[in-house]
């Protein structure tokens, strides 16, 4: 999946000469926390966030909208030369940028001009959709050996039970580096027969695993 598919392609923006109070008003009206700052040709000059504004204001003035501080221009407190992305960037690469740089938004630029914005909320919604969590189904977690072909062996069992696989996540086993944990979401509300088959084939099903309940 690429950024173009999840970005907001009509971002609200500010000019560098807009005031802090104007930025706050726009954020509240549009229910956003991040605003790109652009020039007349839509080149990205900076980013201003709700957090930037809070940090720029002394706590004693935050509840005084008539304070001269609110008349400061956003260019005085914005993040200048921010990191930017491209519409054809992969979503996972952008997510890594968010993680490593500890940012809350990423202006998306093409041809030198702003064409969209991606936020942590956009990434969260995308993650939820990719895992299939918005659709009825069941999650099964399985500990497997980290060997070629193991995913095929697991999904073959789901196929034999005519269960559609909605998503597969793979992450390290904290107890044994030679293993992986497969988190598989299947389109069924009753996965017991598949779990029994998985265990019969020697797979270690970690979830569902209800104490006192035997699935054998």
CATH of the domain at 165: 3.30.70.260
pLDDT bin (cut points 50, 70, 90) of residue 126 is very high
Distance between start and end Cα atoms, the chain: 39
pLDDT bin (cut points 50, 70, 90) of residue 67 is low
Scanning 45-165, the segments in alpha helix (DSSP H) are: 50-56, 91-101, 120-131, 150-160
**Whether residue 116 is found in the same domain as residue 21:** yes
Rg (CA), the chain: 24
**Whether residue 59 is found in the same domain as residue 80:** yes
Whether the CB-CB separation of 61 and 69 falls below 8 Å is answered with yes
The overall pTM is greater than 0.85: no
**Whether residue 141 is found in the same domain as residue 117:** no
pLDDT of residue 53: 87
**Whether residue 92 is found in the same domain as residue 147:** no
Domain-located, residue 214 = no
Domain count, the chain: 2
């Amino acid at each position: 999946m690429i950024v173009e598919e999840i970005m907001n392609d009509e971002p609200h923006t500010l000019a560098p000469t807009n005031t802090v109070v104007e930025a706050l008003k726009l954020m509240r009206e549009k229910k956003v926390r991040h605003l790109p700052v652009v020039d007349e040709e839509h080149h990205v000059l900076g980013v201003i966030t709700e957090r930037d504004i809070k940090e720029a204001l002394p706590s004693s003035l935050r509840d005084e909208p008539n304070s001269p501080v609110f008349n400061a221009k956003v260019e005085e407190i914005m993040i200048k030369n921010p990191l930017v992305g491209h519409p054809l960037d992969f979503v996972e690469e952008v997510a890594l940028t968010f993680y490593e740089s500890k940012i809350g938004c990423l202006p998306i630029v093409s041809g030198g001009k702003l064409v969209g914005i991606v936020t942590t909320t956009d990434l969260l919604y995308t993650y939820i959709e990719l895992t299939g969590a918005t659709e009825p189904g069941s999650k099964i977690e399985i500990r497997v050996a980290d060997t070629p072909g193991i995913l095929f062996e697991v999904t073959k069992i789901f196929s034999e039970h005519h269960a559609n696989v909605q998503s597969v996540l793979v992450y390290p086993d904290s107890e044994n580096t030679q293993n992986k944990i497969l988190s598989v979401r299947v389109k069924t509300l009753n996965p017991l027969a598949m779990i029994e088959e998985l265990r019969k084939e020697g797979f270690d099903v970690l979830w569902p695993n209800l104490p006192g309940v035997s699935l054998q």
